[in-house]
Amino acid sequence: MPAASGSLTQPDNLANAISSEAPALEVVDLWKKYGQNQALSGTSFSVKQGERLALLGPNGAGKTTLIRSMCGRVKADRGQVLLLGRSIREPDVLQRMGVIPQDLAIYSDLTAKQNLECFGQLYGLRSRRLRERVSWALKWIGLEDRANDLTSGFSGGMKRRVNIACGVLHRPQILLLDEPTVGVDPQSRQRIFDMLDELNQEGTSIVLTTHHLDEAETRSDRIVIIDHGKVVADGTLEHLIESTIGARRQVAIEATGLLMAVPSGLERDASRNRFVCFVDNVAEELPQILDRFQRAGGVVTDLEVHQPNLHHVFLHLTGTELRE
Amino acid sequence: MIRTVIQTSWRRLRNNPSELFLTFIVPMVFFSIFALIFGSRDAASSTPKIKIAISNESPSELSERSVQLLEEQSSLRISLPNPSSGSKSNPSKSPTFKRETAQDLVRRGMVSAAVVFSAPKKGNPSDDLPKVEIMTDSFDQVASQVLAAIVQKAVMTANAEIAKTKSPAPGSEPRSNPVVWARHINAMATGANFPQPPVVEVVDVIGGKKANPVVAMYASGIAVMFLLFSATTASGSLLEERENSTLDRLLCSRLTMDQLLLGKWAYLTIIGAIQMSLMFIWGALVFRIDLLNHLEGFAAMTLVTAGAAASFALMLAAICQSRMQLGWVSTIVILSMSALGGSMVPRYLMSENIQRVGLLTFNAWALEGYNKVFWRELPLNELGMELAVLTTCGFVFILAARIFAIRWERS
């Protein structure tokens, strides 16, 4: 192991070379092929300093390869990944990144404290600095009182918190989280996102991959959707909605007494008595729709107006076909 | 319900190739290994031969002929002196060693025993028979007993052949002379002319003075086998780390794959050395193994053996795809190596072919080294070959582990 450097883990020459203007992370035209499978096909996007970015995509879209490329574990066939303006292949650049794998990448036969000490040392922390950071991490994840317990006896949520803490001990400037809340209860999810918000408020950029679209909606500043190894959407939630579905609202009506004929402009949903349509202006178009139902002899029993959300955008962009 | 349980269990077994292999193939593999060791089909060519050296200190017609007869024995492999070495005892027809050289060969384990023919003692009932000593290494507990019988037979045969060639002159044959015939019959009746077998004195040149010789032999065999088992079990942590993405996290830190493997190798070597040391300390305390007087050789052998075992374990882990696969692969490989290498049964009991195959195993070299330290009490410089082979093995294994681990870096 190289000797521990200064107060933190960043060599002076690196600190000098990093521009405050540079994006925290920049993925430039990444290509990667495994055999016949083209996992990445020119993926490009960037993450600003202090930004929270959600990275979404269906199974097999290339997310895992992308994440592994971003943290240097996969060497792309073409393209590059820049961290604060410098290639991740340069020495010590990756020290500014924290990686939280989806799996519980901790030692179950070590205590929480021993796990933190282990990963802290691997990131170059030593002696007093290490003790301080471990102590901070235990407090941050709310496990001070369980510090000396083996993690094998922890609940899923507690293990997840230790898993996250192991990746942030060295105070990374950007944090990659691969589905950090898989298999945890709502309380633990809330706690984990509170922890991440705390880090973000201190200036850490966050890249989060998740299948919980509500997490992406509420916990990110920007969303990138990838499919077939390419970025298919990149922007804020509002921007994505505007650029895909637009301002239209989905109207869902349940009705009885209707003949087989479906009122014009509506589609019968999977359920026989449910009809859906999209409207650009709810105030103007909804009364006309209800009038058509009445004339067709139907009795409206329920009515819902949905604002488009990330779920609609995601399915609109990636389709509904199963990928596995 | 019971039928469902049986059906489900069978389906699970059928869908698990490694379990199928362990259940049905591995027993046959081990049976074959032990059958090869103990029940060789080609007995004539592969039965273990006793390797001996011969010293003929007082050449006579009888001793010369006895040596010739021993050389003709198919069950013996005679070690001959180097013509230019000057270790020959005499310029007789069959070159033999000096007594001291033959004894040294036994001490070094180059031969299992040495046969020394010397001048007969005065007043011996069979005055014309040479004095025969078998200097033996009791490490091979079978050789001395078999050899004693073979030597007696050779001397008796040689004696009879010589007696036949020295037949009485015409007219002096007992049957043609009633007086001589009567004397001959009388002598036979009292047993005076009945040929007496030579007295063969067996001298244990190595184990005779040892407090508990057998334990010293087996301690290393058991220790090396369990060293391999514990090292491969511990090396499985590498696969566990890969399976739960900890390896990814480790390699995203400052740690490189080289450092990870070297760190694990150092750890396994230290643990292995402690394990071996504890076993021998226990052996010294309870079973009177003379550890204190062999510390230098023990330390050298333990260090290189533990290092090579650690490398071997890491190589197996790097080759395997999962911890479960490592479990059954290591069980098969280690048990096979232990059987062939002498950890389970002494190699001298195996056929010559299997003994040669055994030299391809890690265990055989380690056991030979410990044998030289504790049994033959040879100095450190005599362990050169064993230390060199084990060090080379360790280096090659860790290099192989590094090469196989490349796929984890690139995956």
Decide which of A269 and B45 is more confident: A269
CB < 8 Å to B409, chain A: 73
CB proximity A119 to B under 8 Å:
yes
Q: Are B124 and B246 part of one and the same domain?
A: no
Q: Distance, in angstroms, between B252 CA and closest chain A CA?
A: 7
What integer is the mean pLDDT of A263-271?
72
Q: B78 forms bridges with which residues in the sheet? A: B52
The phi, psi pair for B118, rounded to 5°, reads -135, 175
Amino acid in position B230 = S
Q: A122 vs B246: CB contact, 8 Å cut-off?
A: no
CATH of the domain at B131: 3.40.1710
pLDDT at residue A14 tops 50 = no
DSSP assignment, residue B67? Answer: H
- Inside any domain, residue B352: yes
CB < 8 Å to A123, chain B: 253-254
Residue appearing with tokens 């989060």: A208
CB < 8 Å to B255, chain A: 1, 122
A13 pLDDT tier (thresholds 50, 70, 90):
very low
pLDDT at residue A50 tops 50 = yes
A1 pLDDT tier (thresholds 50, 70, 90):
very low
A8 pLDDT tier (thresholds 50, 70, 90):
very low
CB proximity A115 to B under 8 Å:
no
Using CA atoms, how far apart are residues B278 and A210, in angstroms rounded to an integer? 51
Q: B252 vs A97: CB contact, 8 Å cut-off?
A: yes
Cα dihedral across residues B28, B34, B38, B41: positive or negative: positive
Q: Are B159 and B287 part of one and the same domain?
A: no
Q: Are B394 and B345 part of one and the same domain?
A: yes
| Cβ neighbours for B148, distance < 8 A, ≥ 6 positions apart | B134, B200, B202
Decide which of A90 and A15 is more confident: A90
Closest C-alpha to B341, from B228, B235, B231: B228
Q: B249 vs A2: CB contact, 8 Å cut-off?
A: no
Q: Are B180 and B226 part of one and the same domain?
A: no
| Cβ neighbours for A2, distance < 8 A, ≥ 6 positions apart | A124, B254
CB proximity A317 to B under 8 Å:
no
- Inside any domain, residue B1: no
For chain B, counts of helices (H) and of strands (E): 16, 5
Q: Are B198 and B230 part of one and the same domain?
A: no
Instruction: Tell me what the pLDDT averaged over chain A comes to.
Output: 85
Q: How far apart are the first and last CA of chain A?
A: 42
Judged by DSSP in three states, A64 sits in helix
Q: Note the pLDDT of residue A322.
A: 62
Q: A99 vs B250: CB contact, 8 Å cut-off?
A: no
Whether residue A161 contacts residue A195, with contact meaning beta carbons closer than 8 Å, is answered with yes
- Inside any domain, residue B136: yes
Q: Are B195 and B262 part of one and the same domain?
A: no
Q: Are B55 and B73 part of one and the same domain?
A: yes
Q: Are B89 and B138 part of one and the same domain?
A: yes
CB < 8 Å to B257, chain A: none
Tell me the CATH number of domain A247-307, given options 1.10.10, 2.40.128, 3.40.50, 3.30.70. Answer: 3.30.70
Q: Are B253 and B178 part of one and the same domain?
A: no
Q: Note the pLDDT of residue B121.
A: 66
**What b/e string do you get for B256-294 counting C-beta neighbours within 10 Å, with b at 16 or more?**
eeeebbeebbeebbebbbebbbebbeebbeeeebebeeb
Query: Which residue range is the domain that position B314 belongs to?
Result: 213-410
Name the strands in the sheet holding B50-56, side by side, starting at the edge strand that comes first in the sequence: B76-79, B50-56, B113-118, B131-136, B200-204
A6 pLDDT tier (thresholds 50, 70, 90):
very low
Amino acid in position A305 = V
Of A2, A102, A105, the CB nearest to B254: A2
The 10 Å Cβ neighbour count of residue B150 is 20
CB < 8 Å to A2, chain B: 254
Positions of CATH 3.40.50.300 in chain A? 23-242
Q: Note the pLDDT of residue B172.
A: 55
**Beta strands at A299-306 and A249-256: parallel, antiparallel or unpaired:** antiparallel
pLDDT in tens, A220-256: 999 999 998 999 999 998 888 888 888 788 888 888 8
Q: Are B270 and B326 part of one and the same domain?
A: yes
Whether residue B376 contacts residue B107, with contact meaning beta carbons closer than 8 Å, is answered with yes
Q: Note the pLDDT of residue B159.
A: 83
- Inside any domain, residue B38: no
Number of domains in chain B: 2
Mark which of B180, B206, B232 sits at the end of a domain.
Answer: B206
Q: Quick one: what percent of chain A has pLDDT higher than 70?
A: 90
What integer is the mean pLDDT of A171-196?
89
Q: Note the pLDDT of residue B169.
A: 53
Mark which of B206, B222, B244 sits at the end of a domain.
Answer: B206
A260 pLDDT tier (thresholds 50, 70, 90):
low
Q: Are B254 and B181 part of one and the same domain?
A: no
Whether residue B350 contacts residue B343, with contact meaning beta carbons closer than 8 Å, is answered with no
Q: Note the pLDDT of residue A31.
A: 94
The per-residue pLDDT string of chain B (411 residues; one tens digit each, 9 = 90 and over) reads 888 888 888 888 888 887 888 788 888 887 887 777 666 555 445 566 788 888 888 788 888 888 888 888 888 888 877 665 555 555 555 677 888 888 888 888 888 888 888 877 665 555 567 788 888 887 777 788 888 888 888 888 888 888 777 655 555 555 556 665 666 566 555 555 556 677 788 888 776 666 655 676 788 888 899 999 999 999 999 999 988 889 988 988 888 999 999 999 999 999 999 999 999 999 899 888 888 988 999 999 999 999 999 999 999 999 998 888 898 889 889 988 998 888 888 887 777 778 888 899 988 999 999 988 888 888 898 899 999 999 999 999 999 999 999 988 876
Tell me the CATH number of domain A23-242, given options 3.40.640.10, 3.40.50.300, 3.10.250.10, 3.90.650.10. Answer: 3.40.50.300
Q: Note the pLDDT of residue A11.
A: 44
Interfacial A residues in 9-68 facing B (CB < 8 Å): 9, 68
Q: Are B316 and B295 part of one and the same domain?
A: yes
A15 pLDDT tier (thresholds 50, 70, 90):
very low
Which of B237, B251, B253 should we substitute to test contact with A (largest number of A Cβ atoms within 10 Å)?
B253
| Cβ neighbours for A310, distance < 8 A, ≥ 6 positions apart | A56, A213, A214, A216, A217, A223, A237, A240, A241
Q: A101 vs B248: CB contact, 8 Å cut-off?
A: yes
ipTM surpassing 0.85, yes or no? no
Q: Note the pLDDT of residue B366.
A: 93
**What b/e string do you get for B297-310 counting C-beta neighbours within 10 Å, with b at 16 or more?**
bbebbbbbbbbbbb
* Number of A–B residue contacts, CB under 8 Å: 48
Mark which of B206, B225, B260 sits at the end of a domain.
Answer: B206
pLDDT at residue A60 tops 90 = no
Q: Quick one: what percent of chain A has pLDDT higher than 90?
A: 42
